[in-house]
Amino acid sequence: MLISSERLHRLRLCSTRSALRHTCLTAAIALLVAACARQQAPAQPYRVGQTAVLEGWGITVHHFSTLPPDQWHQPSEGHVFCIVELTLENRSGQIRYFMPEKQMLLMDEDGRVYPPDHTAGVVTARQRDWTVPDGEMSVGEMAHGAASYEIPSDVTELHWVFHRGLFPWLPKVTFALGGLP
């Protein structure tokens, strides 16, 4: 039985498409498994004053405190401004970029997550002359500043979390801050 060249061409094309679908499906499953894999958390969170090293980042939390509002910027009722004073160092050997609103988060005892707050950042800049490090960091560059937040005044246990990258499943380090000072 002879197969026409046109039919042979269609069979090869079908086989190639099937192989491509299989490769794409395998890659998608591998990415999904990697994204959903649980990251191993440190046995205990770091403490204020300690330096954590995470895949080319050096992260030190120096101080955690509340911040009094000024006459133009007030927190919402039942909330306070607070700051996490920190130093971030690029130890990776390459230029790095980061976004505080995705990588520097405050988390309370109930798992609620608070990104940096713009209004609290303005107050921090005026009162302490600190800004939040962000953007591009050159090789070996160190940035000192503070991440500022607006949080409920009744939280009892806080952790500051630094994510290595923009995606929440990437490795992270946690610093135990305790309750509001």
Q: What is the mean pLDDT of the chain?
A: 83
CA distance 66 to 178: 12
Q: What is the pTM of this model?
A: 0.73
Domain match, 30 and 84 both: no
CATH at 111: 2.60.40.1240
Domain that holds residue 165: 46-178
The owner of tokens 């923009």 is 166
Long-range pairs for 160-163 at CB < 8 Å and ≥24 separation? 160/61, 160/64, 160/84, 160/104, 160/105, 160/106, 160/107, 161/104, 161/105, 161/106, 161/107, 161/113, 162/52, 162/54, 162/57, 162/59, 162/103, 162/104, 163/102, 163/103, 163/105
Domain match, 32 and 118 both: no
pLDDT digits over 90-112, tens only? 999 999 998 898 999 999 999 99
Domain match, 14 and 87 both: no
Domain match, 58 and 31 both: no
Number of domains in the chain: 2
**∠38-86-47 over CA atoms, to 5°?**
60
* Least reliable range by pLDDT among 2-11, 32-41, 56-65: 32-41
53 pLDDT higher than 80 = yes
Using pLDDT thresholds of 50, 70 and 90, give the confidence band for residue 132. Answer: confident
